[in-house]
Structure 1
Amino acid sequence: MLAISLMRMGAKGKPFYRLVVKEKRSKRDGKYIENVGTYNPMTDPAEVVLKHDRIQYWIGVGAKPTETVASLIKNNPAQIAE
C-alpha cells in the first residue's frame, strides 16, 4: 500500500521535510518512490511547496496521505495560473 508522508531532513533542531510517496511499511526516512513537495516549519510563516498535479496522480492510483500531509494539502490549495 502506498502512502504520501513526511520525510525528515535537516540538522538537529532545524527540521526540514520532504513530502514523499513511498510504501506504507518502509521506514520514515527510508527509500521512496517520488518527491512531491517540501515543508519548512522553521520559517515564519511555514513554507510549503507542493506539486499538486503529482499529488493528485498518486492519490488517484491509491496512495493515502497521512493526517499531517492531508492537512498541508488542504491548507495549501493549488494556485490557478492565469
Structure 2
Amino acid sequence: MAMKIRLARGGSKKRPHYSIVAADSRMPRDGRFAEKLGTYNPLLAKDSEDRVKMNMERVQYWLDQGAQPTDRVSRMLEAAGVIAKKERSNPKKAEPGAQAKKRAEEKAAKIAAAEEAKNAPAEAPAEEAAAEETAE
C-alpha cells in the first residue's frame, strides 16, 4: 500500500482549512485516511504559529514507514527542518509569454528607430559644417 502524507481540504467555500493526513494514495483527496497528523490554515499570517501544526513524532513515523509527502507538505516539512531541502527546477518559470516577447521586440525596434532618428540629424549639420569649412 503506497502511503502519502498530504492535505485534505475542509472548511467552507472561500474559507479553506486543511488537515495534514497520512492516506493511501488511491483514496480520494478528502476521503478515507489512516491518521490525522496536523492542520494547515492558509488564512492565517505566514509568521503565525497556528498556521501549520504537526505532530512531528507521527510524521517521522510515517516517513520511516515509507510514506511520501506531497510537494506542499514537503515544503512545510522542509520549513520545520524534518527533511532536507530539495533542489527544484522550473526553467520556464521566469520566461515571458509569447505576447510579452512580441511587445518587447516592438519596443526595442521603436527605441532603436528613435535613437537612429536622434543621431542622424545631429550628424548631418556637422557634416554640412565640415563641408562649408573645407570650401572656404
- Using the size of structure 1 for normalisation, the TM-score is 0.90
Moved over 6 A (4+): none
In structure 1, distance between residues paired with 2:81 and 2:42: 18
Deviation per residue, 1:14-60 (Å, 9 max, x gap): 00000000000110000000000100000112610011110000010
* 2:36 partner amino acid: N
Q: Which of the residues 70, 74, 93 maps onto 1:70?
A: 74
Q: How does 1:1-82 map to 2 (within 5 A)?
A: 1-45=2-46, 47-77=51-81
Structure 2: stretches of 5+ with no match in the other structure: 83-136
Higher relative contact order at CA 8 Å, sep ≥6: structure 1 or structure 2? Answer: 1
Structure 1: stretches of 5+ with no match in the other structure: none
Give the number of the structure whose residues are more often helix, by fraction: 2
Say which is worse superposed, 42-51 or 5-14, in terms of deviation. Answer: 42-51
Alignment RMSD: 1.2
The percentage of aligned residue pairs carrying the same residue is 36
- Using the size of structure 2 for normalisation, the TM-score is 0.55
1:74 deviates by: 1.0
Bigger radius of gyration among the two: 2
Q: How many residues align?
A: 78
Give the number of the structure whose residues are more often strand, by fraction: 1
